Amino acid sequence: MFVCINIVLKTNFKKIKSDSYTDEVTKEFKPELTPEEFEEYVVNSGAKGSFMIYRSKNKDEELGLDEL
């Protein structure tokens, strides 16, 4: 679970310091966050403007249909 530390962030951190990262990704990136972490973040942010990605057994359909 996440810990909300708004007050600390507002007073001590305005930007992410370079030493905040020990694992900068320089090669191909693959998400490592969990579905639970993702859902919490999306719900928390309101997800305005977001939508789902369409998946199908017919892979060509995933690129859209000229007529439906």
For another protein, the binding residues (CB under 8 A) are 2-6, 8-10, 13-17, 20-26, 29, 31-35, 37-39, 41-59, 61-68
CB of 1 to another protein, least distance (A): 9
CB of 18 to another protein, least distance (A): 8
CB of 57 to another protein, least distance (A): 6
Q: Are 40 and 2 in contact, with CB atoms under 8 Å apart?
A: yes
Other C-beta atoms closer than 10 Å to the C-beta of 29 total 7
Q: Please, which residues have CB within 8 angstroms of residue 62's CB and are 6 or more apart in sequence?
A: 54, 55, 56
